[in-house]
Amino acid sequence: MKRAKLNFLFMSVFLIVVFSGCGSKTETITIYKDVFVPVACRATMPVKPKNDGSFEAKKELMSYFLECESLLKGCINANNN
């Protein structure tokens, strides 16, 4: 009877040690982040028009910006919406 109690005690202590071995470690938390990769673009930028304040200069400047935007969208393979 005494031997059975001693075996039960040793088994209990052994199981407590085995199951609590990693209990003190903190839980690993995985955080996902976006990684931006540079893209090589072979587009050549158009010459920027002069802005003298006139309506025609503003129209040329607007067409310049639209052309630049379409070139950059082509570099990143974006749809032209």
Query: For the segment 37-78, what is each residue's pLDDT rounded down to a tens digit?
Result: 887 788 888 999 998 989 999 999 999 999 999 988 888 876
DSSP state of 22: T
Backbone angles phi, psi at 12, to 5 degrees: -65, -45
Give, in degrees to the nearest 5, the angle at Cα 30 between 28 and 35.
150
Residue 2 pLDDT grade (very low, low, confident, very high; cuts 50, 70, 90):
confident
Cβ partners under 8 Å of residue 74, min gap 6: 43
